[in-house]
Structure 1
Amino acid sequence: MVRNALRATFLAAGAVLTAAAPGASPALAQVLELAIDQSPAGLDPHIITAFASFMVVNGTIYEGLTAIDKDLRVGPGLAESWTVSPDGKSYAFKLRPGVTFHNGAPMEAADVVASLKRVMAKEIASPLASRLAAVESVAAPDAGTVELKLKEPSAPLLTSLATLAIVPRGFEADKDGLQKQPVGTGPFKFKEWQPNGFIALARNDAYWRKGLPKLDGVKMNIVPESATRQVGVGSGQYAMLPNIDAATALQLKGKPGVKLAETLELAYTLIGFNTAKPPFDNPKLREAVNTALNRDEIIQAALFGAGVPGGPLSPALKDWATDVKEFSCYKHDLAKAKALVKDSGVAQPISVTMTVLPRQDIKDIAQVVQQQLGAAGIKVELKTPELGQFIQDWRNGNFDLFASTNAGSPDPDDYFYRTFRTGGSTNVFKYSNPEVDALLDKARANQNPASRKAQYAQVQKALACDGPIAHLAYGQLFTAMRSNVTGFEIMSNRSLSYLADTTAGK
């Protein structure tokens, strides 16, 4: 229910007027018009990997037992409280009373158990499965309580649970039902999806956070052309362009009626190596690539200077990230890179293919990387498939190299364990390093913050120069809004959960 709103037309704010819901108090119904650059590749929260999908469902349609706020702190979500056993191997979560799914069914412990088991199921093949690797069993002693038994203590568990959406029971073996018809507990419920047109979300009138959401709905218009999005927010056709790159933000800076929010994001740009086949099964060649890369040049040329060179963890994670100055291969040295190529023993000339995420900033990055590696004696052919094919090739390890951007997390384990541990659920590189495996296992079970930080510092050092990823940069993330949009907070993990708090005045 939108309170204290005047009945008016909000075209200037990029909102549209709709009829108030039956039974709602007299108020203006605002549907906030957004413009996003890509159509999502499915909406199942346990299967999706693309940012375009994540942005639609995370914190808007779906919620987890815990939640992450704008300061990356973990707090209550669908669980209002929890207790942990002294040995750190048992968690009991007390669920919020009165929470319902968008289909009207009550959210109960059985739904939580089914959701977590779905993530862990081999048949579902969720990329999030590694986040529950320490879980031995999940049970519901009653409708309001969920108990997790762990094989060993798991320091990142509470953070991980914020990323695992709770869905209605009955989808445990269903890989298709939620892809186009998501059903969650969040502030907005799914209304309509017109492929390559828009996704419409409607207000959840039964939302458990009283007084929220303040909007009647959100319409996410799919507008691939950056210039069209820019004109739209400038004219008031769109109220918001969420999570835009530096090039778009630069064009909008100072435009009348438009304001920018920004933050250093957790997501990073990268070049990924297939370590299961030549030539990048050779760690010396992976080190050569890292040494040939000029990250400052990449940031200036492709990100318009809005970013910082990045290692395995974002500098935004001040409690965890190792300064890139400590990684020898991060100092651009073309002569050394050529020597490493020669010392690798890989037959020359070296010719490989790089699969590129179909997003403009990643295309720009790929072109700069292509030139830099060419100068070191590694000829790179660029291939840019459509998004669905890119994701399929990525999941199947069908690449020599790929250029992309990956999400980060407030806790290193959420990224490291699934990505770099042998058999990890997003270890598409087929990377295996017993030293890294042992460190990740120890750090996951470690309840001491200081020694855990030291272990992750060792992991970063092991991964930086000859791991399966050449980390490039962490960019500034921007959201452009009409000046009368209030209450929205930009989040470094790209979540749009603060749309629940957002309004657009005259």
Structure 2
Amino acid sequence: MLKVKLRGIVAAGLMMAATSASAQVLEIGMDQSPTGLDPHLITAFPSFMVVNGNIYEGLTAVDKDLKVNPSLAESWTISPDGKTYTFKLRPNVKFHDGSSMEAKDVVSTIRRLQSKDIASPLASRVSAIETATAIDPLTVEFKLKEPSAPLLTSLATLAIVPASVETDKDILQKAPDGTGPFKFKEWQPNGFILLTKHEGYWQAGLPKLSGLKFNLVPESATRQVGLVNGQYSLLPNIDAATALQVKGKPAVKLGETLDLAYTLIGINVSKPPFDNPKVREAVNYAINRQEIVDAALFGAGVPGGPLSPALKSWAVDVKDYACYKPDPAKAQALLKEAGVTTPLAVTMNVLPRQDIKDIAQVVQEQLNKAGFKVELKNQEQGQFIQDWRNSNFEMFASINSGSPDPDDYFYRTFRTGGSTNVFKYSDASVDQLLDSARTTQDQAARKKAYDEVQKKLACSGPVAHLTYGTLFSAMRDKLQGYDVMPNRSLSTLRGASLQP
């Protein structure tokens, strides 16, 4: 009898151990602190990694194959003219404060995104929506000004927030409240951000982890040591240099995919002489993109144009861009044609990431050989973002997120008055192409329009696109069920677990 009881105790103990092993807090090492947690205001990757898909969700979601799936909306219908979308919301979805997520919250979210007072950088993604109406608690209707082919993809990036925060610009930055699998618990500046399991999450059996702890560890070497010794179980979205350092270490594995995010040199076209397209074209001829891949990305990437090669249905081959063949002499000739006295002195703001600093140094050297005199201005992240938003730059070196649909990037960035058109760029022909591409459902017509947009932007647009890197995540082999997403989202952590 005693033996049976002991066996029962041992079995129960093993079951408890197995349960705790699969329901642990995942220790994550990240290099920079988020600048805020409001999903409608953030622009930096550290913020995006914490909130997107973990704290917040949209009506739709994008999977690892970049396909659109239902999320908070379980289904939808589209009118024959493409101007009315009706969404059926999932029942029994709860915000982290315990209140029910209903149609009124969706309507309020759209108003918040469109509000000039909130000034969301995502506003262009909902510019086609004329009205949002709650038909009943679980039904929402969007009336559009014109058809919007990218709308369902865009909605995946637009977090639904409680109606109570519609006009508040501050509350969600430090006290987020979403519907996602993990809820905010604590933020210790320069220490960590802790998310805990959302017990009322609508998706049965998820999340499997009891929480996510984002440890803020600026030093790359310290993060690497922490991964190898088991202090951290995940280093998400790392660069090639870090991946090489941890590759082959005991109990460590690498996940990888081609990044949708692009490295770039941004150009303020409102500041002479960059208002002259010939000068912007000279920048492109001066750049050797393969050299950047080899020197700054350790070969783990590809030269890239306005769209990632991962978007096989959309991206134009960089071989079609004449200015992508490096030619310093051609660059100097273009500067001369533009009436510019050389060397042309210019200041380049640099995002404080090691890979971007490396890229900026390579680009500086290349430009300096082609009639420019570039001064690099290394900035703290908050100051860099503030100067970016205020168009307070001549040039900058950075990395920006991509999207499965070209409209999400092109319309807000290059359309006249776009919500992230910090370059002050305006081209009537580009506007016309972007307008037509977002209002037709004809895939061939959209492809043709975006091909033209890419060809116009590649050499004389306000952005010199540089590279698309291989996106790595390094993890302990006990972390199971986590997939690297091309858009850098950590949303697959909802299905991840830590094995014994």
What interval of TM-score do these two structures reach, taking the shorter chain for normalisation? over 0.9
Which string of whole-angstrom CA distances, capped at 9 and with x for unpartnered residues, describes residues 387-431 of structure 1?
Answer: 100000000000000000000000000000000000000000000
Instruction: Give the Cα–Cα distance (whole angstroms) in 1 for the partners of residues 15 and 232 of structure 2.
Output: 20
Asked whether the 8 Å contact 1:7–1:28 carries over to 2, the reply is: no
In structure 2, the residue corresponding to 1:381 is in which secondary structure? Answer: strand
Are residue 62 (structure 1) and residue 42 (structure 2) matched?
no
Shift of 1:27: 8.1
1:415 maps to which of 394, 409, 426: 409
Question: Which residue in the other structure is 2:303 paired with?
Answer: 309
Question: Which residue in the other structure is 1:21 paired with?
Answer: none
Asked whether the 8 Å contact 2:256–2:471 carries over to 1, the reply is: yes
Which string of whole-angstrom CA distances, capped at 9 and with x for unpartnered residues, describes residues 1-42 of structure 1?
Answer: xxx984449xxxxxxxxxxxxxxx988640010000000000
Which string of whole-angstrom CA distances, capped at 9 and with x for unpartnered residues, describes residues 233-288 of structure 1?
Answer: 00111000000000000111111110000000100000000001112111101000
Asked whether the 8 Å contact 2:22–2:208 carries over to 1, the reply is: no
Which string of whole-angstrom CA distances, capped at 9 and with x for unpartnered residues, describes residues 424-452 of structure 1?
Answer: 00000000000000000000001100111
Are residue 396 (structure 1) and residue 390 (structure 2) matched?
yes
Question: Which residue in the other structure is 1:357 paired with?
Answer: 351
Asked whether the 8 Å contact 1:5–1:27 carries over to 2, the reply is: no
Question: Which residue in the other structure is 2:374 paired with?
Answer: 380
**Unmatched tracts of structure 2, length 5 or more:** 1-12
Shift of 1:141: 1.2
Are residue 441 (structure 1) and residue 435 (structure 2) matched?
yes
In structure 2, the residue corresponding to 1:390 is in which secondary structure? Answer: helix
Question: Which residue in the other structure is 1:214 paired with?
Answer: 208
Count of paired positions: 489
Asked whether the 8 Å contact 1:271–1:404 carries over to 2, the reply is: yes
Amino acid at match of 1:82: W
Question: Which residue in the other structure is 1:496 paired with?
Answer: 490
TM-score by length of structure 1 reads 0.95
- 1:10-21 counterparts in 2 under 5 A? none
* Larger helix proportion of the pair: 2
Shift of 1:349: 3.0
Amino acid at match of 2:168: D
Instruction: Give the Cα–Cα distance (whole angstroms) in 1 for the partners of residues 183 and 477 of structure 2.
Output: 26
1:278 maps to which of 264, 272, 295: 272
Question: Which residue in the other structure is 2:452 paired with?
Answer: 458
Instruction: Give the Cα–Cα distance (whole angstroms) in 2 for the partners of residues 437 and 46 of structure 1.
Output: 25
Asked whether the 8 Å contact 2:25–2:209 carries over to 1, the reply is: yes
2:130 maps to which of 131, 136, 158: 136
Question: Which residue in the other structure is 1:19 paired with?
Answer: none
**Unmatched tracts of structure 1, length 5 or more:** 10-24
Are residue 188 (structure 1) and residue 197 (structure 2) matched?
no
Which string of whole-angstrom CA distances, capped at 9 and with x for unpartnered residues, describes residues 280-333 of structure 1?
Answer: 111101000100000000111100000000000000000000000000000011
1:52 maps to which of 46, 55, 58: 46
Shift of 1:342: 1.1
Shift of 1:225: 0.4
In structure 1, the residue corresponding to 2:171 is in which secondary structure? Answer: coil
1:161 maps to which of 155, 170, 185: 155
2:426 maps to which of 432, 456, 474: 432
Which string of whole-angstrom CA distances, capped at 9 and with x for unpartnered residues, describes residues 447-473 of structure 1?
Answer: 100111011000000100000000000
Question: Which residue in the other structure is 1:468 paired with?
Answer: 462
Instruction: Give the Cα–Cα distance (whole angstroms) in 2 for the partners of residues 346 and 125 of structure 1.
Output: 37
- 1:24-43 counterparts in 2 under 5 A? 29-43=23-37
Instruction: Give the Cα–Cα distance (whole angstroms) in 1 for the partners of residues 333 and 387 of structure 2.
Output: 32
Are residue 175 (structure 1) and residue 197 (structure 2) matched?
no
Instruction: Give the Cα–Cα distance (whole angstroms) in 1 for the partners of residues 323 and 16 of structure 2.
Output: 60
| C-alpha RMSD over aligned residues | 1.4
Shift of 1:229: 0.5
Question: Which residue in the other structure is 1:346 paired with?
Answer: 340
Asked whether the 8 Å contact 1:6–1:27 carries over to 2, the reply is: no
Question: Which residue in the other structure is 2:320 paired with?
Answer: 326
1:199 maps to which of 189, 193, 196: 193
Amino acid at match of 1:81: S
1:253 maps to which of 247, 266, 270: 247
Amino acid at match of 2:484: I
Asked whether the 8 Å contact 2:103–2:137 carries over to 1, the reply is: yes
Question: Which residue in the other structure is 1:89 paired with?
Answer: 83
Amino acid at match of 1:49: T
Question: Which residue in the other structure is 1:20 paired with?
Answer: none
Shift of 1:190: 0.3
Asked whether the 8 Å contact 2:22–2:209 carries over to 1, the reply is: no
Asked whether the 8 Å contact 2:28–2:212 carries over to 1, the reply is: yes
In structure 2, the residue corresponding to 1:426 is in which secondary structure? Answer: coil
Question: Which residue in the other structure is 1:232 paired with?
Answer: 226
Which string of whole-angstrom CA distances, capped at 9 and with x for unpartnered residues, describes residues 174-198 of structure 1?
Answer: 1100000000000000010001100
Identity percentage over the alignment?
A: 70
Asked whether the 8 Å contact 1:6–1:28 carries over to 2, the reply is: no
Regions of 4+ moved over 4 Å:
25-28
In structure 1, the residue corresponding to 2:254 is in which secondary structure? Answer: strand
- 1:73-152 counterparts in 2 under 5 A? 73-152=67-146
Asked whether the 8 Å contact 2:22–2:499 carries over to 1, the reply is: no
Shift of 1:340: 1.0
